[in-house]
Structure 1
């Protein structure tokens, strides 16, 4: 097989993936690389099928990448030993040597979406399909979410995207955390065997969340030696600020329920006060136990008692 038979890399798709990784628009990449924006647009659309190598190198360097060309070398065992020099130059390649062009970057997730004019959406933005009015930020002002589609005053676009870079950076950071976070059971740290602890952390050890619980001894509660089932009391679920609402708390609770199944515990109880905690635990499957006692509190003044007025 010769190099002409080898599949060629999709340069346009690769450049779009580079721009997305660097979070650059075509105009910003053109300013950094010195390559005209029109040239970048032609490369990405496939209209510039054979750009100059120097042009590709400038684009890669502009996003902080490195362009590497590697050719596989035949193993020494497949080359017959020779005792006399040959007339072929040392840099010659055999017919079996094929250059393989690869791109380790993930592809642009919305690369197959098109707008109403058949154009691709900007590669560096986060694009999502629009199926109903709530998916379209351009319809936030319109009070027609509950109308049937025939009565919608505007036609929905195929997709929408967010231009705000700060919002985009926060969303991508949350995606990285959601992908990399791991939940593990903590054991052997000197706690009693009846206490449970799960932590959610990143590969570098950064702690993002924690769940603590303890087993409840019903023999002490009931005051007898009956054959009572094991119960668990959820002490709390904490998630670091800035990493909430991305599923870390759900994964901690799921890890707890899996261990409950493994140990034969079928009931977990807890007491909540804040509305956000009630909504979170309800989403995890908890239900209000109306037969339980009410939580009560007595609030006392924080400062010293006021002095009585002096007699006249």
Structure 2
């Protein structure tokens, strides 16, 4: 007897299916109801399981309005045949409930609030570091963003965060002392880059060069503006450090200012005692006497 798919005899949870479809189409219950020509309370009853005897025509209109395709699979016991299983991805926050025990909207992105800055309603969180007892109001268990532009941007950033690949660039076109890493999306789009070069410590201190003594100077870490604050810069630095460990190089140096200081400190760099002096040579650009040629 042929093996059976374990999901064949399990009834489809129509409410769960409809929530998945709504999330994929980014539609609220009201928006889906308007597209399908069905009352919004009907959608709510189906998703909550209170409309177990929903009409086939109603279900068909809702599924098609959400971009799905309703089909009946009669594979039966024919060997080798299995039902079609093309369900949309599950709603990731389906287990979360609000203070009243209700589910959060399926089409939104819902996340837990662990501290005030996780909550868009905490307008004071970015500027004040207040203890919990001094918060102007209590924070919710979870939250979401109603603005579709922000929501789409958030989903896009999460996709980028999971898809970015960091690799080292090497080849005949680069000198042997070059350390270059790039962060790319699957299609080859460049979203970040790290460049560094290797030098001998004796060039800074003078004296004889010691065999095997090497260090790297970090020239810069760049990340596309729309993809910042996703950890891409940190991943580039971590890739460099991993390669340095394999090469037996213990020291990496960098000069930076402003936001770059906090970034490198978070990556493990430490401020050193010697402080460079900023110098400038400015030559007049006028009709005065010019230096001899």
Q: Distance in 2 between matches of 1:107 and 1:295?
A: 57
CA distance in 1, matches of 2:7, 2:21: 26
1:237 to 1:54, Cα distance in 2 relative to 1, 3 A: same
1:179 alignment partner, SS class: helix
The runs of 4+ residues in structure 1 deviating greater than 6 Å are 95-99, 142-145
- 1:253 and 2:237 aligned: yes
2:101 matched to which residue of 1? 118
On the 8 A contact 2:8/2:83 being kept in 1, the answer is no
Give the TM-score taking structure 1 as reference length. 0.79
Per-residue CA deviations over 1:117-147 (Å, capped at 9, x if unaligned) read 2211111112222345444433436999735
Among candidates 282, 298, 304, match of residue 280 of structure 2: 298
Aligned residues: 283
Q: Is the contact made by 2:21 and 2:67 (CA closer than 8 Å) also made in structure 1? A: no
| Paired residues of 2:17 and 2:87 also in contact (CA < 8 A) | no
User: How much does 1:94 deviate?
Assistant: 3.9
Q: Encode CA deviations 1:75-115: one digit per residue, 9 max, x unaligned.
A: xxxxxxxxxxxxxxxxxx44889864645422112111112
1:128 is aligned to 2:111:
yes
> 2:217 is matched with which residue: 233, 247, 254?
233
The answer for the alignment partner of 1:215 in structure 2 is 198
Matched, 1:164 2:147: yes
Decide which of 130, 137, 161 is 2:120's aligned counterpart.
137
Q: Which moved more, 1:46-55 or 1:99-108?
A: 99-108
Give the Cα–Cα distance (whole angstroms) in 2 for the partners of residues 163 and 225 of structure 1: 62
1:88 — aligned with what?
none
**In 1, are the aligned partners of 2:200 and 2:209 still within 8 Å (CA)?**
no
Label 1:278 to 1:53 Cα distance change in 2 as closer, same or farther (>3 A). same
Q: Equivalent residue of 1:254, what SS?
A: helix
Q: Distance in 1 between matches of 2:110 and 2:231?
A: 21
Match of 2:15 among 12, 16, 21: 12
CA RMSD of aligned residues (A): 3.1
Contact 1:9–1:102 (Cα < 8 Å) also in 2: no
Q: For residues 296 and 152 of structure 1, do their structure 2 counterparts lie closer, same or farther at Cα, with a shift above 3 Å needed?
A: closer
1:19-58 Cα shifts (integer Å, max 9, x gaps): 1122111111111122221111111111122433333332
Q: CA–CA distance in 1 between the matches of 2:129 and 2:201?
A: 51
Q: Which runs of 5+ in 1 are unaligned?
A: 73-92, 308-312
C-alpha distance in structure 1 between counterparts of 2:279 and 2:261, whole Å: 18
Normalized against structure 2, the TM-score is what?
Answer: 0.84
| Larger-Rg structure | 1
Equivalent residue runs for 1:143-158 within 5 Å: 146-149=130-133, 154-158=137-141
Distance 1:136-1:296 versus aligned 2 partners, 3 A rule: closer
Q: 1:200 aligns with which of 183, 189, 207?
A: 183
